[in-house]
Amino acid sequence: MSESLLAVEKLNTFYGKSHILHDVSLSVDKGELVALLGLNGAGKTTTMRSVLGLTRPRSGTVHFEGRDITGWPSYRVSRLGVGYVPEGRRMFNELTVTENLQIAETGRGGAWTIERVFQRLPKLQELRARKSGRLSGGEQEMLSIARALVANPTLMLVDEPSQGLAPLIVEEVYKILAEMKAQGTSILLVEQNALLALKVADRAYVMDEGRIVYSGVAADLERDRNMIRTLMGLQEVAS
């Protein structure tokens, strides 16, 4: 059996009586950037929550680096080297930028220290004493990514990083994701904007109503105009 970094097999997850995920299987190999696409409510966030131990799947398995971590509490999953940039950039609003980074450090060691993050993102350094609740949306997204970086994860789960951000900031965010990948971090990326994600992804999965309905090489999916139109909410997409 080939050993993926992350291997999700036939996950079924419920919220109360609602059966949300139906036999969801996916994998991320070492060094890969994998996009998880789908319309609103398809189950992308629930898939991430099931991997992270935030929502316990009813059946199925999650393996990370060959170890069965199904149902592990999230603090143990994160200690293994799984980072998370949540949708909506949740953080500690009353803490300053520096304090948010300090509590995100895990002591696992690795290339990303707070100083290095500040060198890479000088804007954050300028804002280091500001409470994060007073940052703009773009600045909060940068801080959210910076928080995940200082934990030096092996695998990073990133949920809709472009949401509500101006195009220039989205570009900056995607540049950082590409850099992380170039430095060997594996990434599972949830994104509403399919075309954006497919430009950086190696492979992609598409979810619909809690099921994986497509999986393949990102460049192939990018050429599938019908699928892209559906994913982008039936907007016209230039061919």
Q: Summarize as ranges the residues that interact with ligand ATP (CB under 6 A).
A: 15, 18, 20, 38, 40-46, 87, 192
Nearer to ligand ATP, 130 or 211 (CB): 211
Residue 2 beta carbon to ligand ATP: minimum distance, rounded to whole angstroms: 27
Find the helix or strand (DSSP H, E) in which 7 lies. Answer: strand 6-15
Residue 46 beta carbon to ligand ATP: minimum distance, rounded to whole angstroms: 3
Nearer to ligand ATP, 78 or 192 (CB): 192
CB of 149 closer than 8 Å to CB of 113 = no
Nearer to ligand ATP, 42 or 143 (CB): 42
> Is beta strand 59-64 parallel, antiparallel or unpaired with respect to 6-15?
antiparallel
d(CA 59, CA 14): 10
Residue 39 beta carbon to ligand ATP: minimum distance, rounded to whole angstroms: 7
Query: Which residues have C-beta within 8 Å of that of residue 125, sequence separation ≥ 6?
Result: 118, 119
Residue 76 beta carbon to ligand ATP: minimum distance, rounded to whole angstroms: 22
d(CA 225, CA 3): 32
Nearer to ligand ATP, 85 or 114 (CB): 85
Strand partners of residue 131: 96
Residue 157 beta carbon to ligand ATP: minimum distance, rounded to whole angstroms: 12
Nearer to ligand ATP, 18 or 239 (CB): 18
Nearer to ligand ATP, 42 or 228 (CB): 42
Residue 227 beta carbon to ligand ATP: minimum distance, rounded to whole angstroms: 16
Query: Which residues have C-beta within 8 Å of that of residue 207, sequence separation ≥ 6?
Result: 24, 36, 37, 38, 42, 43, 44, 47, 213
Helices marked H in 23-166: 44-52, 74-79, 97-104, 114-120, 122-126, 137-150
